[in-house]
Each structure stands twice: as C-alpha cells, then as structure tokens.
C-alpha cells in the first residue's frame, strides 16, 4: 500500500509540475499512469466487495477521493493539448488509444463494483427474493397446480 501512495504522490507531482512546454506525449503518459493506478484501486475495491460482501471501508473511499484533483488536473492538460494540436504524431495517437482503453476498463470495473455494492447493500429479504432458483423447483411448483382435477392441467 505504501508503494501506491508513493506512486500517487509522484504522479501528482508530474501533473501539477507540467509546464505548458511539456510534450503532449508526457501529458498522455501521465494520464495513462493515473488510469493504471485507479485500475489497481478499483481491483482492490472489487476484491473487497466480492470477499466481504460489505461496502468498502472509509479508508478505501478516501483513497479514491484523493484521485479527484489529479484527474481534474489531467483533464485540464488533456483539454489544453487537444485545443493546441489538431493532429497527433503516431506515438501520441498510440498513447491516446491506450488512454481510451484504460478509461473503458475503469468504467467497466466501476460498473461491476457498483453492482456488487448494490447487492451488498440489499436487505436480506430482497436478497432472498432474487436468489437463484434450485433446479427442478419450478417444475415441482408447477406440478402441484396442474395435477388431476386442476383447471390448469386440463385443456378441455
């Protein structure tokens, strides 16, 4: 965990210290690095939700909140380079694609985490109502109501 804190600090320093003369590739690399760190954090959250089936602890939520200023700064830098350059080099275009893939992975993982969180927050009676049905249970229930003399069982 200490390593991720150090990496977050290093990334924060990279983003906040970027001057207007920094290359587009540096801005894109820094953004991809933030996305990778968030991905690690979302994976940790996913593991916690799957194993404990409880909402994540406040410490993890605080770590997620720490990324907001970094993301805001990165977004400003991305807007700046997008407005400054109508075309990217092949290397920069590859970094843009990598950033897009990273964002899509984050969105998918966050969506799954939201589902897990919703399941964890459900009251027990609601969880029971949506529990998987045992094989054959529906057939047995249906069989009770379609026996001899039942109006459901006779097609006459």
Is the pLDDT confidence value at 26 over 60? yes
Q: Let me know if residue 143 belongs to a domain.
A: no
For residue 130, tell me if it sits in a domain: no
Residue holding tokens 């804190």? 5
Please check whether residue 18 lies inside any domain of the structure: yes
| pLDDT single digits (tens) 2-17 | 444 444 444 444 444 4
- pLDDT value, residue 16: 45
Given a cut of 70, whether residue 137 has pLDDT beyond it is yes
Convert the pLDDT of each residue in 29-52 to its tens digit: 999 999 999 999 999 999 999 999
Q: Is residue 27 part of a domain?
A: yes
Task: Between 36 and 150, name the one with better pLDDT.
Answer: 36
What is the DSSP code string of 7-55? HHHHHHHHHHT--TTS-HHHHHHHHHHHHHHHHHHHHHHHHHHHHH-SP
Over the stretch 58-105, which tens digit does the pLDDT of each residue have? Answer: 999 999 999 999 999 999 999 998 888 778 888 989 999 999 999 999
Number of domains in the chain: 1
Structural domain containing residue 81: 2-123
């Amino acid at each position: 965990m200490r390593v991720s804190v150090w990496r977050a600090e290093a990334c924060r320093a990279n983003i906040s210290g970027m001057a207007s003369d920094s290359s587009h590739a540096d801005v894109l690399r820094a953004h991809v690095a933030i996305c990778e760190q968030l991905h690690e954090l979302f994976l940790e959250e996913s593991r916690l939700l799957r194993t404990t089936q409880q909402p994540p602890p406040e410490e993890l939520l605080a770590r997620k909140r720490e990324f907001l200023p970094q993301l805001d700064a990165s977004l400003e830098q991305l807007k700046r380079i997008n407005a400054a350059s109508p075309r990217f080099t092949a290397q920069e275009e590859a970094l843009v694609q990598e950033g897009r893939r990273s964002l899509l992975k984050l969105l998918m993982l966050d969506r799954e985490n939201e589902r897990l969180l919703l399941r964890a927050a459900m009251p027990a009676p609601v969880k029971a109502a949506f529990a998987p049905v045992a094989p054959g249970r529906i057939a047995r229930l249906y069989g009770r109501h379609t026996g001899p003399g039942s109006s459901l069982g006779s097609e006459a």
